[in-house]
Amino acid sequence: MSTLRFAIIGCGGVTLQNHLPGLVLCPDAKVVALCDNDAPTLARAQEQTGIAIASTRHEEIVHRDDVDAVIVATPNFSHPQIALDAIANGKHVLCEKPLALNHADSRAMAAAADSAGVRHMTAFTYRFVPAMRYLAHLIQRGDLGQPYHYRSCRLQDWGTRGLGWRQVKKLAGTGELGDMLSHRIDFAHLLIGPMRRLIANTRVFHPIRGGQTNDLDDCVAILADFQNGATGVLESSKLASGRNESWRSLDYVEINGSERSFVFITGEWNKLQTGIVGGPGMETIEIPKEFWKTPGSPRDPSKGDPLVTFRYDQAWEFVDAIRAQRPCVPSFHDGARAQRVMDAAVLSAKTRQWVELDEDSKSGE
């Protein structure tokens, strides 16, 4: 089997935390090139990894014949250009969420990748939590019955600190909506299906963060109707004081159906709560061992902190899809679907109106 050669564009937090350690685990896969437009960051990443090929310009990396696939892990506004340049050079692309600053751009990325025949993947990393994968399996099997309600709640305590590019509209697009709620919008699509309409509220509590202007939402709430008749309530905030800042803070999903309910909490990676209709209440169920990692993943789930290491299965999904020449899950289409909801939420928060989502697409994309 020939070695798959990866380039990573953007050597900041998520690359060091997720992408590099995930790819290191994959056999016959190698990161051969790095790019960061900040020279000291690039030099640090090179020093840590020993990777020789490096540039501060992505254009110099994505055209190389010795690169098969590209991971885009830069601030949101730069994703479309880098991804499109990589696709134009025939590279497979894993792009961080949110794919773009708006739905039209994310859809164009999906269309370009499809017509180039390359693999494309959106980094909705929390799909790889074992409990989420098992929950999706149970719902697909029909255990829920008719879906009534989808509820998600992401609560973190980021206080008033500076957020760098994350607090600048032209660089990030949205605040809490794209940063945190995009994953939970993706959960909703995975578990329930496309939304039909929504109304949203966003709020900037701190227009100054770290001494700089913050023009993006500190919190967001969405009330939704799904195409299958279910209702949804999605809330996410950076200002849930005392909740802690990391992924260990609350990330809760509850789904109620005609047969039973399920509760997923990211921090409880190998457990779900469930209760049957008319039953005595919720009970905890363990996630079967075969769901502790994605099929074929080289990761040993007994090694490391499971709240960190589930993320490495994302790299395996990308590698495996390239080798098998099958679509990645989640793909750019899933990224575009979430972006469509985000655009609608921004419009709704501005107009204070319900926004319909299914006018031009039954798939929700």
Ligand X SMILES: NC(=O)c1ccc[n+]([C@@H]2O[C@H](COP(=O)([O-])OP(=O)(O)OC[C@H]3O[C@@H](n4cnc5c(N)ncnc54)[C@H](O)[C@@H]3O)[C@@H](O)[C@H]2O)c1
Binding site for ligand X (CB under 6 A): 9-15, 35-38, 41, 58, 73-76, 78, 96-97, 123, 125, 164, 179
Task: Indicate the residue among 11 and 23 with the shorter CB distance to ligand X.
Answer: 11
Task: Indicate the residue among 314 and 348 with the shorter CB distance to ligand X.
Answer: 314
Shortest reach from residue 305's CB to ligand X, in Å: 15
Shortest reach from residue 108's CB to ligand X, in Å: 17
Task: Indicate the residue among 74 and 309 with the shorter CB distance to ligand X.
Answer: 74
Q: What tokens were used for 344?
A: 């609608």
Shortest reach from residue 314's CB to ligand X, in Å: 8
Shortest reach from residue 151's CB to ligand X, in Å: 21
Task: Indicate the residue among 12 and 327 with the shorter CB distance to ligand X.
Answer: 12
Task: Indicate the residue among 40 and 281 with the shorter CB distance to ligand X.
Answer: 40
Shortest reach from residue 72's CB to ligand X, in Å: 8
